[in-house]
A and B are shown apart, each in its own frame.
Chain A
Amino acid sequence: MPKSPIEVVVIDDLMEATAPLIIRLRMFFESVMLRKTPGEGIEYVLENLGKKRMVVVLDLEFFSNKHAGHQIFETIRKKSHILPFVIFSATDPSSQGQDLTDFINEQAFAFHKKGTPASEVVDTVKRAADSLSARVDAAIESWIESHPPETREQPYITTANGETISLENILQEIRLQTEKGKEFERRFLMLTVDLVMRNIENING
């Protein structure tokens, strides 16, 4: 079975490059990156936001900062709502002082306790990668990213009220899941369904 082209970025201060989880992930993914500090993790993900399709595996608590996991998540979510996160923590989610509402509200993909078998975590990462391929927003994102940057900046659509929108604008709206972005996705889906239906008609005719 060919390996998935989607990159897995693991951000965890206690993970080693030879750890079973990394070795297992490498069995299914072409590229698995390990970043051991919050700063390096954020930097790597943001730098590659337009360039690669990624799934992030994130440790919640770092020795340097108990809240680092939340901060990393928040920082990246400000730039992209599409990126799936698999959250990983040594602390029980039901334990006192452990607030996970930000992950729920901002739709992290899954949450695992540290004791979860590596095979289960790998399965979750695989599902996250699959979702990335199946999601309309992710599909539009990668389609827009396939255009050279100068093309993305040019006006692409003119709306009924005379506003011109570039592909780059659309990308931003979709990544941040704004009303405009969601509306664009809805219309895009309707258009696709419409086109498919017509084609079927033609075929039948």
Chain B
Amino acid sequence: MAKQSLRWRFDVNTFRLLGRELITDRVTAIFELVKNCYDANATKVDIDFIDVSHGVGTGQIIISDNGQGMTFEDVRDKWMVVGTNSKRERTSSGSPFFRRMVGEKGVGRFAVEKLGSKLLLQSKKASQPTQINVEIIWDTYEELSAQYNLFSQEATLPTLRKKAEKAAIKPKKKYFTEIDNRYWHEVKNNDSQYTTLVISGLRETWTGNDISRVYKELSKLISPLTEKKEDFTINIRAKEFEEYKKYEEVKNKGISESSINFSLKYNLENRTQEVIKFNGENLVVSSVPIKKMGPVEMALYYLDTEAKRTYKNLTSSPPDGIKIYRDNLITTPFAEFESQDDKKRDVIGIDKRKHNAFFDRVGSRDLIGYVAITKAQNPEIIDATNRQDFVENEEYRALKQFIIDQVVELEKLLKYQREASKQITTTGLQSARVELDAFTQVVQQTIRETPQLTQQLNPLLQVAKRVRVDFAKGIKAYERLEKEKVRQENIFMSLMSLQEYAAQIAHVVRTSLARVLHLAEFFKDFFPNEEYNDIFATYSKNIYDEMMTLDRAIEYMLSYALADTDKVAIDIKDTIEGLLFRNYKDILAQKDIRTIVEINKSVIINTNERVIIDIFENLITNSIKALNEIKGEKIIKCSGSIDDQGVNILFSDNGKGIDVDDYERIFNVYYTTSAEQGGAGIGLFVAKTRVESLKGTINVVKPEFHPQGATFKITFPFNK
């Protein structure tokens, strides 16, 4: 048989899919249309909202630009071709601006369907004497789609079907591409150029607040980073509302009120990228090789409480985090509207890290940032189809990591500043007390030397004494608060690591209990029975062993409940062996992991036991995860030595290892490379904070089992 061919057709419902469902909200819809004006080299866009507050189905939105306009052929062959790729073939908007084209999927124009049921497109090129008009009535598509449904097999309402039959509507299925849209020419005889979209029969009622939203989102459109200011203005008018009575130019109000800010550039010749580093006192800009995602420009502003208040007064909204611009135009978060600021998407993942103030983290509500990338320099950063994010790939991950790395450096500075101010407060209070004491002494001396002043000076002395008492109380209260804060932080840390193990302990306890239950049940049902005598003997021993396991598990849980802040002499060797050979024995045996402990018996630290256990428990679970996919021999090794500086401990495994790039950030909270194994990025963070609480250091060093595995070096200095 001769081979025949088949073609794709588009169901009439396609219009809904492209407009209403692909464009997530009406602010995005307007944004899409304004982007098209930008691509058309317009320098000015006017958006008019007319009678938009009078209910659904009425009112108009008119978007007009002075861009290059379209001919009949442009409309027929480009504008009305779904997914037309002319913008992909031609990446620049051409003379005079050579803008980077931003609409590239060829569906942005369907955004009009989201806004209203009818569209009148009017467009003219400077070189043409006539204006082309096209009328698209989306209701026609809607009706056809509804009619067809009446005749479809799924239609279950016979009366409706009868009604349709009576009206003699032919049940012939029409396709999206078969529907006729009216067009006509109008002679203009001038050299003006423009495109105007008149959208009517609005799908939603607009309020003054909605218009402000449009203003706010459009103001973010153009990157404030570019030195070359874009000749592109957007004006909004909505006569119904006081603040938009006249055309209001959309402006990026910018930031002048930040308390800390920095900007980073790159150098293409040297292939270097500027990054920010905290040098122990300040943030300094340094250069590193350009990262995987290509060069980026970035400006970051941190707003403290006061700066936030000023900002909010100016913009009537809180700071909204970091935005990414590509080729001067915003890409993500993409003009997405979310009335509750807290629900705004956090595509970069800034807020995911901010779990609690204890962690000295800043969130997107404390930051305003601009990151500029370009299609030419960062080709692997690809827009996601939903336009709200980028495609998750190595380059995008590198970009997100780059941004977070800068924020982390900022956090280090903030933490330093907080601690410095705490010091100043404490010393300030102390010296004030000393001064007060000096004052009292002077007064007392004066009284001694000049007794006739006693009457006058005594009240002063009384007041000074009272003040001194209050002062002492105040200082004590402050110290108590500080202590309380430290205690809270400690409890919180404990809870974090507890969470990590709670699930595992529950599993162990439940399994043990179930075993005991089954063993005891066997006795209940079958004892005595000659046939099972051996089994009874085995089972009684098993019951004993299981009870011991349960006891250990409970002891282990209890150690968390005890608020033991007392320092005791801890033998590192005993502690680590206890963990490895008792608490983790079963898991290590299950996974066939060999353990080596080479520590001199005399390595003893005078400290809190819970802290030491936390450190090594987290290192052990970290190693177990790292060894999971290793074939062949699996080893965890811990060795210790003492030199004149302090105690050094090397903790190693021959697992999958740590990327050199991750040496620093592996200790960051929520940073994990083992999410698929339940890693939450907490273990090593807890280990590090615990080590630091003992004034020690923990670092990743060259792996002992090189080229495989990872080694952590922990140093506890001698108390001098």
Q: Which residues of A contact B (CB under 8 A)?
A: 13-14, 18-21, 23-24, 61, 63-64, 66, 90-91, 114-119
Contacts and interface: CB of A to CB of B under 8 A. Distances in A.
Interface in B518-575: 518-519, 521-522, 525, 532, 535, 538-539
A176 B159 CA distance: 41
A20 B522 contact: yes
A14 B511 contact: yes
Q: Does more than half of chain A's interface fall in helix, strand or loop, or is it mixed?
A: loop
A119 B525 contact: yes
Contacts of B421: none
A91 B535 contact: no
A20 B591 contact: no
B515 interface: yes
B628 A24 contact: no
B628 to A, nearest CB: 7
Given A114-B514, A115-B517, A91 B590 contact: no
Given A18-B538, A90-B507, A90-B514, A118 B590 contact: no
Given A64-B628, A91-B507, A115-B514, A20 B587 contact: no
A19 B518 contact: yes
Given A18-B538, A19-B518, A20-B518, A114 B510 contact: yes
B14 to A, nearest CB: 30
| Chain B, interface SS category | helix
A201 B139 CA distance: 65
Given A63-B591, A64-B590, A24 B522 contact: yes
B535 A19 contact: no
Contact of B507 (A20, A61, A115): A61
A114 B519 CA distance: 13
A183 B514 CA distance: 43
Contacts of A61: 507
B678 interface: yes
B518 A21 contact: yes
B225 interface: no
A115 B507 CA distance: 11
A187 to B, nearest CB: 25
- Which of A14, A20, A63, A114 neighbours the largest number of chain B CB atoms within 10 Å of its CB? A20
Contact of B511 (A20, A66, A114, A117): A114
Nearest to B515: A19
B533 to A, nearest CB: 13
Given A18-B535, A66-B678, A118 B510 contact: no
B591 A64 contact: yes
B511 A118 contact: no
Contacts of A23: 522, 532, 535
B513 interface: yes
Contacts, number: 50
Given A23-B535, A61-B507, A90-B510, A118 B521 contact: yes
Given A64-B591, A114-B513, 8 more contacts: A14-B511, A19-B515, A23-B522, A63-B587, A90-B506, A90-B514, A117-B518, A119-B521
A115 B513 contact: yes
Nearest to A96: B503
A90 B509 CA distance: 9
A66 B539 CA distance: 28
Given A63-B590, A115-B513, A115-B514, A91 B521 contact: no
A20 B590 contact: no
The 4 A-B pairs of least Cβ separation, nearest first, read A114-B514, A90-B510, A20-B518, A20-B522
Contacts of B513: 114-115
Contacts of B532: 23
Nearest to B520: A20
A117 B538 contact: no
B521 A117 contact: yes
Contacts of A119: 521, 525
Contacts of A91: 506-507, 510
A20 B628 contact: no
Contacts of A63: 587, 590-591
Contacts of A13: 590
A123 B453 CA distance: 101
A96 to B, nearest CB: 10
A88 B64 CA distance: 66
Contacts of B522: 20, 23-24, 118
B192 to A, nearest CB: 62
A117 B524 CA distance: 11
Contacts of B510: 90-91, 114-115
A64 B518 CA distance: 24
Nearest to B587: A63
B148 to A, nearest CB: 27
Nearest to B504: A63
A115 B506 CA distance: 12
From B507, B514, B591, name the one whose CB has the most chain A CB atoms within 10 angstroms: B514
A38 to B, nearest CB: 13
A117 B532 CA distance: 19
Contacts of B519: 20
A59 to B, nearest CB: 9
Contacts of B506: 90-91
Contacts of B587: 63
16 contacts: A14-B511, A18-B538, A19-B518, A20-B518, A23-B522, A24-B522, A61-B507, A64-B628, A90-B511, A91-B506, A114-B511, A114-B514, A115-B513, A115-B514, A117-B517, A118-B521
B682 to A, nearest CB: 16
A20 B521 contact: yes
Nearest to A120: B521
Contacts of A21: 518
Nearest to B589: A63
A14 B587 CA distance: 11
Nearest to A114: B514
A63 B593 CA distance: 13
B518 A118 contact: yes
Interface in B173-202: none
Nearest to A112: B514
Contacts of A117: 517-518, 521
A114 B518 CA distance: 10
A36 to B, nearest CB: 10
Interface string B575-600: 00000000000010011000000000
Nearest to A16: B542
A134 B510 CA distance: 35
Interface in B419-462: none
A21 B535 CA distance: 12
